[in-house]
Amino acid sequence: MELELPTLDGQRFFRLSDEQGRLVVVNFWDTECPPCVHEMPLLDKIARSHPDAIFVGVTVSDRNRAQNFLEEHAVGYLQLLGPHDPKGVLRRFGDPSTALPHTAIVRRDHSLCATHTGEVSLDWVNAALSRCRSD
Amino acid sequence: MFKQKLIVAASAIALSSILSAITAMADDIQVLPEVRVTGGGTDFSAPGSLRDEIIKTESITPQDIEHANATNVLQALDNRPGIAVQVECSVCNVRTINLNNMPGRFATLLIDGIPLYSSTVSFYGLDSTNVLGVERIDVSRGAATSLIAPEALSGTVNIITKRPDKKEYVFTPEIGNFGSYGGNAYLATPLEGGAVAFSMDYRKHDTVDGVGMGISQYTGYERATGGLAYFLDDIGGFKIHGRVDLVDEDRGGGPLGNDYGTIRASLTGNPQPFNFSAGPHGSPDPNGWVAPDGVSGPDTLSNGENGVLYNGGLAGISQIITTQRGQGTMIGERKVGEGTLRLAAGAAYHYQDSFYGADGIYVADQKQYYLESSYKAPFGSAIVTFGANYRFEDLKSHGFSFQTNPGLDETGRTPTNGVDNYLYSVPGVFLEVYHAFLNDRLEVNGSVRYDQHNVFGGITSPRLNVLYHHTDALSSRFAIGQGFRAPTSFFEQEHGILQDTIIVRQITKAETSDNISYALNYASDRFSWTGSANYTRIRNFALLSPGQCDPADAACVAGVATGGDVAPSPGFGTATLFTSASDPVQFRTVDWVGTYQVTPSTALSLGLEKDTYTFTPGILNFSRPNERVYLSSDYVFGGWDLFAKLTWTGRQDLKQFYDYVDNQQYNLDGTPKPDESPSFSVVDVRAQYRLNKRFAFFAGVNNLFDYQQAKHDSFLWVDSTGALDVTHIWGPIIGRYVYAGLRLEL
């Protein structure tokens, strides 16, 4: 599985293939999606407690709107700008309904391990990370 | 007029105060749904993207609207593959939405899915349909794209109102050349159990003459619009939303300036003066033009040629239109059993007061009502929707023709009341079944609706849509369907009606369409594109033929039969015949459009469009291109958003579209108009810098290289006898437009 998207600050492309050997948690979100916004502090907290995993947010908002939002709701993990037509990547990451928020965990070998559509809980993320780590 | 504008302004101030008060009580109260369905794209999309729906739907996002510096739906839609805005009059700037290059009357505009746009508003009301506070504009091309709007034979344009999810107080003043200035305000807040948003826009723009004729090519206007959108989460178990909109606009073209009283009172001479020698192929005499047949003109021009010396005053070539409109919608949904019950209603009132200098006065009142009830629920493994809707439309007009009452001033003319009146009452029922197969890779949607039209009888409209996901990134959409449209006699479709005293309705069938379309969509991380093909055949294409004999007028008919002098001259008959074309009209469009993320901060888009037509020459009224190419780039970095767009339009077959064989068009010097228009390009650029979260500055130039049709080929034309018209249109009506403004968010 591959993911190649620009970082929200426009400085570089993030490529999943550059992160060999690490668990990756991908969270798709939108500034106008209340449950997406609600779960962000929790994801930020979980990201800091799992330094062996890379957390990335993928926004389907436009760049300015997302940057404005993050000025007020700062999170510590990397933020990417979603594709112009996000349904392809959402389907690829296990979200055929293209509903948000959607969170996917990718194993170290870059195969899809766990997905959740809707707001995540601490228990789900911890359990899924444990399972994906041991696979 | 001014009083009403004051009312709108006062309402804005009052409402903003109310909003502030309510907001203070309702800080940070939000209901959190479990998920948000993106539909494949929210406020971020690009050419080549499709919504994740079974019907091919392209979204125009707030970012697209910003890039186009659009304040109304026409500016937001123009110059996209398969979507164009057609100008139908150089001095009044009637503009319609052409989907797949089909005439504007076949596109249906919906407000949050409610069809409240019909004949009158489709001509002068679209400029006043503002796009403030919209979540997106969905465009679906092809017949039968809407279950509740079968008359959308070319497709639908659905303006989706944004539900406020935070407090927003946004003000955007703007200034430009051509005496243009204006601004808008958007005030929105979530509330406990709902949300509310108020929007207001005011614009003023001068009439513009790019070639020194003293006759405008771009119509000046003063326009005020206001809207209130509301969202109520629980009213008797219903989740309700809707909006109320008001429009007040004056526009005038022909003579320069906006002293409409003076223009209307100036009935003789050449007082501005208009200079008919200016521009390409101008007349040898600045006070008139050549009669190309060499004998029909009543005057002798200064160079000795036979022609027409202009003597109509400022009024003779002016068009002054006042538009007032109010409309409201309400949509309620609640869970009932396993499914969702939907109730919807809408109402609109439209008033148009028009002064058509040389032709006459036309005043119209139109009322429209819409009611809908439907239920959507799972049925086995399918999802079934069934329901009924009712549409009511009543147009009443009055006025008088100047040409059938020559020599009198306004007060002395004979009225021609109600020539194009109509009343349509249309109850309908519909059924739709959706089913997914092959682990959701294949989706099929079939629907049928039956309408009982009070004039055209019972009509059945079926459609079938199929979506197949070849892979996660690649999908196909196929659609086949039929639709119908009850033709209207609204005079704007043929100004010649103003010169007649009766419309003879020989039309017995509604316009019907057969449509088939296919689209292939690819959506990956950096590259998305869509290729599509669309074919539409319109049968019973409605025709309005002015200047004809009333079949009941024996003397006139006898004159035609014998070829004698009793027959009226074209444009001076007593009757307009309302008929259907015997041959179908066919439209074929193939387009491809894609966007590639070239660098982390730069995206490039390319669009290609090829159109072909089968039609009886002259039947489509206005010229259309066979090819268009679109190229745009968007650079977003460090607070900057730099956008540039090039639109290339290929040659247009003016000879066929304007039917030169039966009605050759001539320049004012008596030479024939060209058979083909030249190809041309228009470049628009825009820069925006976001200083911080609250302030952003923007500036842009539309039509950067100042391409204007009038500098190559005048909009004015004469027939062989020297009769003047203003509808030879194929290119940009206004030159370089430079603007700047700021966005202030409190």
Contact list in A for residue B521 (CB cut-off 8 A) is 85
Contact list in B for residue A10 (CB cut-off 8 A) is 600-601, 636-638
* H-state helical runs in B550-668: 554-562, 654-657, 660-663
Which residues touch B422 (CB under 8 Å, ≥6 apart)?
Answer: B393, B394, B395, B455, B488, B489, B490
Q: A134 in contact with B at a CB cutoff of 8 Å?
A: no
Per-residue model confidence (pLDDT) at position B36: 57
pLDDT tens, position by position, B629-651: 999 999 999 889 999 999 999 99
Instruction: Locate all alpha helices (DSSP H) within B279-371, ordered by sequence.
Output: none
Tell me how long chain A is.
135
Per-residue pLDDT at B92: 87
Q: Does A39 touch chain B (CB under 8 A)?
A: no
Of chain A, the percentage scoring pLDDT greater than 90 comes to: 70
Between CA B603 and CA B593 the distance in angstroms is 13
Phi-psi region of A94 (alpha: psi -120 to 50; beta: other; left: phi over 0): left
Q: How many CB atoms neighbour CB B314 within 10 A?
A: 27
Q: Give pLDDT, residue B709.
A: 97
Helical segments of B138-244, H only: none
Q: Per-residue pLDDT for B22 more than 50?
A: no
Contact flag A100-B34 (C-beta cutoff 8 Å): no
Are residues B199 and B226 in contact, defined by beta-carbon separation less than 8 angstroms? yes
Is some CB atom of chain B closer than 8 A to the CB atom of A40? no
State residue B16's pLDDT score: 44
B182 sits in the region (left: phi over 0; alpha: psi -120 to 50; else beta) called left
**Which of A19-28, B331-340, B734-743 shows the lowest per-residue confidence on average (mean pLDDT)?**
A19-28
Q: What percent of chain B has pLDDT over 70?
A: 88
**Beta carbons within 8 Å of A80's beta carbon, 6+ residues apart:** A5, A6, A7, A8, A14, A56, A57, A58, A59
Residue B122, both tokens: 């489709």
Confidence of residue B188 (pLDDT cuts 50, 70, 90): very high
pLDDT of the residue at B400 = 75
More confident of the two residues B118 and B216: B216
pLDDT score recorded for residue B560: 58
Of B34, B43, B525, the CB nearest to A118: B34
Interface of A with B in 44-83 (CB under 8 A): 59-65, 68, 71-72, 82-83
- Whether residue B588 contacts residue B613, with contact meaning beta carbons closer than 8 Å, is answered with yes
Q: CB of A40 within 8 A of CB of A32?
A: no
Residue type present at position B636: V
Peptide bond into A101 cis (omega under 30): yes
Q: How far lies B69's CA from each of A19, A43, B694, in Å?
A: 41, 37, 19
Task: Tell whether the model's pLDDT for residue B346 goes beyond 90.
Answer: yes
**The two structure tokens encoding residue B585:** 């009209």
Q: Which residue in B494, B503, B532 sits closest to B516, CA to CA?
A: B532
The C-alpha angle with vertex B689 and arms to B684 and B693, in degrees rounded to 5, equals: 135
Contact (CB, 8 A) for A115 and A131: no
For B92-193, strand residue ranges (E) read 95-99, 107-111, 114-115, 134-141, 155-161, 168-176, 180-191
Residues of A in contact with B528 (CB under 8 A): 83-85, 88
Q: Do the Cβ atoms of B36 and A30 come closer than 8 Å? A: yes
pLDDT exceeds 60 at position B573:
no
Interface of B with A in 131-190 (CB under 8 A): 165
Would you state the pLDDT for residue B410? 57
User: Which tens digit of pLDDT belongs to each residue from B442-453?
Assistant: 999 999 999 999
Q: Is the pLDDT of residue B260 over 70?
A: yes
What is the predicted pLDDT for the residue at B496?
56
Q: What percent of chain B is modeled with pLDDT above 90?
A: 69
Instruction: Give residue B692's pLDDT.
Output: 87
Q: Under a CB-based contact definition with an 8 Å cutoff, are residues B643 and B632 in contact? A: yes
Average pLDDT of span B179-194:
96
pLDDT at B686 over 90: yes
Which of A9, A87, A119 to substitute to test the interface with B, most B CBs within 10 Å? A87
Give the mean model confidence (pLDDT) for residues B365-375. 96
pLDDT of residue B607: 96
- What's the N-to-C CA distance of chain A in angstroms? 16
| B708 vs B727: CA distance, rounded Å | 15
Angle in degrees, CA B745, B24, B15, rounded to 5 = 65
Residue contact A60–B61, C-beta within 8 A: no
- Taking residues B410-430, report their average pLDDT: 81
Inspect the interface and report whether the beta carbons of B33 and A3 lie closer than 8 Å: no
Min Cα distance B600 → chain A (Å) is 5
Residue B503 is predicted with a pLDDT of 82
State residue B34's pLDDT score. 56
How far is the alpha carbon of B694 from chain A, nearest alpha carbon, in Å?
9
pLDDT at B80 over 80: yes
Q: H or E element: which one contains A48?
A: helix A34-49
Q: What rounded mean pLDDT belongs to chain A?
A: 92
Most confident region among B3-7, B164-168, B545-549 by mean pLDDT: B164-168
Q: Is the pLDDT reported for residue B359 higher than 70?
A: yes
H/E element, B571: none
User: Which burial class, exposed, middle or buried, applies to B472 when counting CB atoms under 10 A from its CB (0-12, 13-18, 19+)?
Assistant: middle
User: Do B524 and A90 make contact, defined as CB atoms within 8 angstroms?
Assistant: no
Q: Which residues of A touch B45 (CB under 8 A)?
A: 84-85
A85, A90, A97, A115: best mutation site toward chain B, by most B Cβ within 10 Å? A85
Cα A52 from Cα A59, distance rounded (Å): 23
ipTM for the whole predicted complex goes beyond 0.90 = yes
pLDDT-derived band of residue B24, with 50, 70 and 90 as boundaries? very low
Phi-psi sector, B158: left (phi>0), alpha (psi -120 to 50), beta: beta
Output the average pLDDT for chain B.
88
Q: B219 pLDDT exceeds 90?
A: yes
Residues B609-623: tens digit of each pLDDT: 999 999 999 888 889
In this structure, what token pair is assigned to residue B262? 């003076």
Burial classification of residue B55, based on how many CB atoms lie within 10 Å of its CB (0-12 exposed, 13-18 middle, 19 or more buried): buried
Beta-bridged to residue A103, according to DSSP, are: A27, A116
> What confidence tier does B218 reach under pLDDT thresholds 50, 70, 90?
very high
Q: What is the mean pLDDT of residues A8-15?
A: 94
pLDDT, tens digit, 9 for 90 and up, residues A15-69: 999 988 899 999 999 988 889 999 999 999 999 999 889 999 999 988 888 988 8
Given this model, what pLDDT does residue B563 score? 44
Residues in CB range of B192: below 8 A, 6 or more apart: B25, B26, B29
Question: Is the model's pLDDT at B554 over the cut of 80?
Answer: no
Q: What are phi and psi of B639, to 5 degrees?
A: 90, -15
Strands (E), B143-273: 155-161, 168-176, 180-191, 194-205, 220-235, 238-253
Identity of the residue in A38, A65, A96 whose CB atom sits nearest the CB atom of B440: A96
Q: Can you tell me the mean pLDDT for B61-86?
A: 90
* B413 — pLDDT class (breaks 50, 70, 90): low
How would you classify residue B312: left for phi > 0, otherwise alpha for psi between -120 and 50, otherwise beta? alpha
Q: Which positions ≥6 away from B437 have C-beta within 8 Å? A: B443, B444
Q: For an interface test with B, which of A63, A84, A93 has the most B Cβ atoms less than 10 Å from its Cβ?
A: A84
Contact across the interface for B523 and A83, Cβ inside 8 Å: yes
**Which two tokens mark B419?**
């020539």
The dotted CATH code for B2-401+421-487+506-541+581-745 is 2.40.170.20
Chain B residues with CB-CB distance to A70 below 8 A: none
User: Which residues of A are less than 8 Å from B522 in CB distance?
Assistant: 88
B636 CB within 8 Å of a chain A CB = yes
CB of A94 less than 8 A from some CB of B: no
Does the structure show a pLDDT above 90 at B625?
yes
Q: How many CB pairs under 8 A join A and B?
A: 144
CA B126-B132-B134 angle, to 5 degrees, is 95
Length of chain B: 746
Element (H, E) at A70: helix A63-72
pLDDT category of residue B478 using cuts at 50, 70 and 90: very high
CA of B637: which chain A residue's CA is closest? A10
The neighbour count for residue B714, using CB atoms within 10 Å, is 24
Query: What is the residue type of B227?
Result: G
- DSSP code of B479? E
| Domain spans of chain B, in order of start | 2-401+421-487+506-541+581-745
Q: Do A11 and B600 touch (CB under 8 A)?
A: yes
Dihedral sign for Cα B635, B636, B642, B646, please.
positive
Q: Do B641 and A64 touch (CB under 8 A)?
A: yes
pTM: 0.90
The whole-number pLDDT of residue B39 equals 45
Give the per-residue pLDDT at B45: 67
